[in-house]
């Protein structure tokens, strides 16, 4: 899977599938099942390391887990998160991204934030580093946002997200994740962009869907987000759960109204 192929899927209105992966065994199962994108997410800080946020995750952590996923990922596009404060300045972002791609073998990096990242995205893409942007609920800013809550419900926030999405695309971002934003707003942003959008708690109109693997298998300790779904409970095996997720996304069954914010 390449960025060119993802754009073609958007143009053909064919849904894109994405799940997080943190190790070689799960990566192999996901890759063989036909997942379009594997995301080595800093969510590993919570589901793997047991922290209450993603903030303690380091660049070395991300490299270590990305290396594992890369060893068995042969078909899917491999994206890796840039952890908290590792891209606070454009220069820091360039150094971090270079390590994640050179040592971690990632094919694309993901960073959280809006228009303040325009200079960083330009710098990275000009130097051949593909960028996936992330708007809406950005977990690395959880304390500033006042908790894990839906973003963009009031018009000034919604307009900011619309403008941020366009600015990041213009700066060179090739993909955009929208997390926990109202369904109507996500649809507006998706329509306004040439690049694909991947939703998580952002409704059915996004060009694709992503979930944390451990959430969709129902094995996350603590409360599972309302926008997720336990596919393992319905199917009984991990392989069948992954196949069910792919089918549900591709056919437009998932996310349903119960997984969507208005």
* 58: phi then psi, degrees, rounded to nearest 5: -105, 170
CA-nearest of 32, 96, 33, 34 to 66 is 96
Structure tokens at 177: 């994740």
H, E, C per residue of 233-262: HHHCCHHHHHHHHHHHHHCCCCCCHHHCCC
Q: Are 75 and 93 a contacting pair, CB within 8 Å?
A: no
Q: Which of 179, 188, 234, 243 is catalytic?
A: 179
| Active site annotation includes 179 | yes
C-alpha span between 162 and 173 (Å, rounded): 15
Task: Please give the Cα distance from 43 to 60 (Å, whole number).
Answer: 15
Burial 169-190 (b: 16+ CB within 10 A, else e): bebbbbbbbbbbbbbebbbbbb
- Nearest CA to 43 out of 142, 174, 182, 186 is that of 142
Return the closest-CA partner of residue 220 out of 78, 48, 67, 64: 48
| 53, 83, 88, 112, 137 from 141: Cα distances, Å | 10, 11, 12, 9, 8
The residues carrying an active-site annotation are 179
């Amino acid at each position: 899977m390449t960025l060119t192929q993802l754009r073609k899927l958007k143009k053909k209105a064919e849904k894109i599938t994405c799940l997080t992966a943190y190790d070689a065994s799960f990566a192999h199962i996901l890759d063989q099942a036909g997942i379009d994108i594997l995301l080595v997410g800093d969510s590993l800080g919570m589901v793997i390391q047991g922290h209450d946020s993603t903030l303690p995750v380091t660049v070395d952590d991300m490299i270590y887990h990305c290396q594992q996923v890369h060893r068995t990922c042969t078909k899917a596009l491999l994206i890796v998160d840039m952890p908290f404060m590792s891209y606070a300045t454009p220069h820091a972002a360039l150094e971090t991204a270079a390590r994640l791609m050179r040592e971690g073998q990632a094919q694309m990096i993901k960073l959280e934030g809006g228009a303040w990242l325009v200079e960083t995205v330009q710098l990275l893409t000009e130097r051949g580093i593909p960028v996936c942007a992330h708007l809406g609920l950005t977990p690395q800013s959880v304390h500033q946002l006042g908790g894990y809550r839906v973003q963009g419900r009031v018009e000034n926030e919604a307009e900011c997200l619309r403008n941020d999405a366009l600015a990041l695309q213009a700066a060179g971002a090739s993909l955009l994740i929208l997390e926990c934003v109202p369904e109507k707003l996500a649809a507006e942003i998706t329509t306004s962009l040439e690049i694909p959008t991947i939703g998580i708690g952002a409704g059915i109109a996004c060009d694709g869907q992503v979930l944390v693997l451990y959430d969709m298998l129902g094995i996350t300790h603590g409360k599972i987000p309302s926008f997720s779904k336990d596919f393992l409970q319905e199917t009984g095996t991990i392989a069948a759960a992954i196949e069910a997720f792919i089918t549900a996304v591709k056919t437009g069954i998932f996310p349903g109204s119960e997984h969507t914010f208005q």
